[in-house]
Structure formats: structure tokens, C-alpha cells
A and B are shown apart, each in its own frame.
Chain A
Amino acid sequence: MRVAMLGLGSVGKGIAGAILERDIGFTLTAVADSKSGRIEPSGIDIASMLEQKERTGMCGTPGVGAVDILASDAYDILIEVSPTNAETGEPALSSIREALCRGKSVVTSNKGPVALDFQSLHRLAEEHGAYLRYEATVCGAIPIMHTIESGLAGNPITKLYGVFNGTCNYILTRMAEEGLTYQQALLEARERGYAEADPTYDIKGIDAAIKLVILANAVWGMEKTLDDVEITGIDGVTTASIALAEEQDLTIRLIGEIIPAEGVLRVSPRIIPKSHPLVVGETLNAVAIDTVMAGEITLIGKGAGSLETASAVISDLLFIRDCHGRRS
């Protein structure tokens, strides 16, 4: 199948590399970054394209962009992996809409559009016989959507809770392990590339809250927005408070929870036993799914990273390919 990709950063390069190196049966026919793009209906030479990107910062010709690619009809599936804008979702939101309207399926790792416009995007996909998949938007490499949708099919989910932000998890882990202050741990996270220059979204709990919104809407068909989430970040957590918890074999983690029956949609730092399955180290993510028949299931894995996030995108691509034809 032919795929077009918008965005060639950390995630995009991981996907391009996977298409090149693994024999998964996809042809990359179009790609764009912020300044350039290229459309080659017979298939892009990925290795030389990546080399050009590395050398010049541009993957193609200046002036070729998302609009040209979307209109080209050179693709069956659009991969949208450009930067997240949590306020407007743009420009990704418009690109996704455009592709769906043309009956093209979309796979994205971009939380913005999915969290902001969940219902209408799904309606659009439905109307045009296309798929919209977004496994990579929640917990990176962890196959949370696939697990709930296929693995736990037929199981009512009563509660979802977990560690949805690797940056916060890293900071809290380092504060607990080394007695670092919040500022020191944040600085360290930045140095190691785990926190962005402006870490507000992560540390204030907004990133985790956006993921909860996506899950609430996807799993239970709720119509939630970011405003519905009760959010407390980790910037007020002190080293002393973690030490107090650790006195009793407890620790503090940023936990996101959805408990529909109790109307709970919340992100907050919580006291949790160190032996709890959700207490994971470093930048890991973990999510516990409480089900009626299967009891509780906990998934742990990498919440970010080039190849890790690409893994989730690839699984969505394969899902669409395998489902294709069933609909038409």
C-alpha cells in the first residue's frame, strides 16, 4: 500500500526507517517537513531521501507541502506525525480532515487533533469509508488501543489508570532515588533529552490529561475535552514529601485515572506503594486496565522514542491494511 507522511522528525524518521528496513509491504510515495516536500508516486528512495534530510534539513523541494501531497492522490494512507498543537490541533487537524474527506485512511501520533476533534473526525472517517487510527498518541509503544479493542474485546472496562507521562515519571524517580530537588531533576531530564525546553505541558499534567481525554472518548465514547479533566501537576511536589512517603515503602507518582462510574477524570500526584505495578522507573509509562471479566491488566513500556513510537504507527498501518477490503 502507498503511504504519504507529513512530518519527518524523530517519529517520522523512525517510520521511514522501519518501512525501509522491514519488509512490511508499504511504499512511501510522499513526504513533507516544515520547509519542503516530495511526491513520487512510484515510490521514494527512502535511504537517499533521509540522507538529503540529514545534509540539508529538507527532505524535498521547497514549496511542496502538505496541501500538494493531500491533493496528489498518490497515497492510500496518510501518516500524520507533525508537531502537536494542543490548542488548535493545526495544521495537522486540517490535513487529517482533508485526507478523510478524500476517503483516505489516517494514522497519527499527534494528540492535538485527536483530543480536540474526536467525534467529528470519526464521523468523517465513517462517512468516507476510511479509518482513523491513533495508537501512538497514548503511551507511545504500549499497544493500549489494540489491547482494549481486540485483546479485551467483549470486556467492559470499568477503570483505566496509569503513568502517562515519561518526563514526570523520570523527575519523580530521580527525586526519590537521589534526593534531587524538583529543579535539579528537571534540569537533568532536560540534559538527557527527556524534557522539552518548555516543559510546561509535561510537568503541569496537561500532556497526561490530553491522553486521558483521548482514552475517555475512544474507550467509552465520552465527549470529553481538556477542560473536563481535573489536573494537578508535579511542580509542587517536594523532595521532602517523597521522603515522607518512602519512610513507609510508598512513593509519589503522577497518575491519570478514568473511572466513569464515579465521574472521575483526573491527573494528580499520588501516594502509591513502591511495590505497585504502576511504579515504573525512568521514563517508562504504565497503564492498568480494570475489566469485568479479565480483572486487572497492566501494560508497561516506553512512552516515547523514535522507533518506539514508530512501532505503534506501523501496527496501525498493518491494522488498516488487514481490514481493507472488509469495508468496501
Chain B
Amino acid sequence: MKLEMKDSPGQLVSVIQPISEIGGNILSVIHERDPAVRSDVLDVQILCEIPEGSLEPLLARFKQIGVNVLRIGEERLLVRRSVILIGHLIHTDITDTIDTIDSTGFAEVHALSMIMPAINEPSSTKMTIKSDSLANVNRALDILRDVARQKEFLIIEPLEDV
């Protein structure tokens, strides 16, 4: 989103704070002074991830603190789903498993955390898949289930959308 605010100390922090307060995650901040326009205002572009349904409250908050929202860019939904994989994941090439998801173009492996097992024991890994829609996350999970069947590992899926 593109914001316009007074160019005075502490102003940038005042817009960042509400975003983190609602549980958002700031991906990038670009700010520029454009002398051609007014010198006392600052244009800021913020790219952030915020929880579903929190855009309206955020905008209300900006209004309250006197920040002018010039433009809201494309709103993209982000859906994350974590599953736990159990099996001989390293022997069956975990990189290849990740690539299978990443190469779909509609979903990606966002995080991976693995607990190394004792030798010859299956390892356990939590994999978080991210996409811009629930349908695409489910498509990615379907692919992962196929991979699991081929490589003989167990997928433990969430009961609900956690």
C-alpha cells in the first residue's frame, strides 16, 4: 500500500506499529521524498502480510493517526498449511520433494523444520506450504500426498485449518 504522511521524526514508526499490532509481517518498506511535490510530506510504500480480515481495522487505525492511504495495491490472500512428514525423508531426497511443490508455480514450501532421528529411524519434519488461495494449497497437498505414496512416508495433516 502507498501511504502519505508528515515528514517528521517518528512518523514511520507510527505506521509500522499498527501493522505489527494486528499480527502483520512487513516484507519491505520504500520511502521517498519527492521535492517536486510538497516537501513536508513523505510517501511510503509498504509491502506486508496481514492476517485475513484485518485490513479494515488497519485502515481505520491509519485514519485515526492521520496517515493518508493513497493506494492499496493488489490484495493477495496468503494461505499457509503445515503438515508433518515422517519417513526416510533424506534418503528419499527432501530437496526433490520441496522442488515438486515449488515448481508448481502456485504454491511453495515456506518453512521446514526437521528433527534428526537416530540412525535408521525415520525422521520427522514439519513442512509449511504457502499459496495465495486455499484451493491452491489443497492442490499442493494432493501433490504431496502422491509423493508420500511413492516415497513411502507418512503425512500427518491438520484436522482443521491450523
CB-defined contacts of B24 to chain A, threshold 8 Å: none
Q: With A238-B117, A240-B123, A241-B124 known to touch, is A270 a contact of B158 (CB < 8 Å)?
A: yes
Residue A86 interfacial (CB < 8 Å): no
Q: A147 to B115: give the CA distance in the assembly, Å.
A: 43
Proximity string of chain A (274-315) to chain B, C-beta cutoff 8 Å, 1 when within and 0 when not: 001010000000000000000000000000000000000000
Question: Shortest distance in angstroms between A280's beta carbon and chain B's nearest beta carbon?
Answer: 14
Task: Tell me which of A237, A238, A269, A273 has the highest count of chain B C-beta atoms within 10 A of its own C-beta.
Answer: A238
A237 and B159 within 8 A (CB): no
B67 at the interface (CB under 8 A from A): no
Q: Which B residues touch A116, using CB under 8 A?
A: none
**In which size bucket is the chain B interface?**
20 to 34
CA distance A321 to B76 in the complex (A): 62
Asked, given contacts A232-B154, A244-B84, A245-B84, whether A238 binds B124 with beta carbons under 8 Å apart, the answer is yes
CB-contacts of A222-258 with B (<8 A): 232, 236-238, 240-241, 243-245, 247-248, 250, 252-253, 255
Measured in the bound complex, the distance between the Cα atoms of B84 and A272 in whole Å is: 12
Taking the closest CB of chain B, its distance from the CB of A126, in whole angstroms, is 37
**In the complex, per-residue mask of A94-125: 1 if CB is within 8 Å of any chain B CB, else 0:** 00000000000000000000000000000000
The smallest beta-carbon distance between A246 and chain B, in angstroms, is 11
Residues in chain B near residue A165, CB distance under 8 A: none
Contact of B83 among A232, A240, A271, A276 (CB under 8 A): A271
Docked CA distance A240–B113 (Å): 11
Instruction: Report yes or no: B86 in contact with A238, Cβ–Cβ below 8 A.
Output: yes
* Measured CA separation A241–B124 after assembly (Å): 5
Cβ of B18 under 8 Å from chain A: no
A317 CB to nearest chain B CB (Å):
36
Tell me how far the C-beta of B100 lies from the nearest C-beta in chain A, rounded to whole angstroms. Answer: 21
Cβ B84 vs Cβ A236 within 8 A: no
Q: State whether A241 touches B156 (Cβ < 8 A).
A: yes
Q: Considering the complex of A and B, which 3 residue pairs feature the smallest CB-CB distances, nearest first?
A: A240-B124, A240-B115, A241-B124
- Measured CB to CB, the residues of A under 8 A from B are 161, 232, 236-238, 240-241, 243-245, 247-248, 250, 252-253, 255, 268-273, 276, 278
Q: Which residues of B contact A (CB under 8 A)?
A: 82-84, 86, 113, 115, 117, 121-126, 154, 156-160, 162
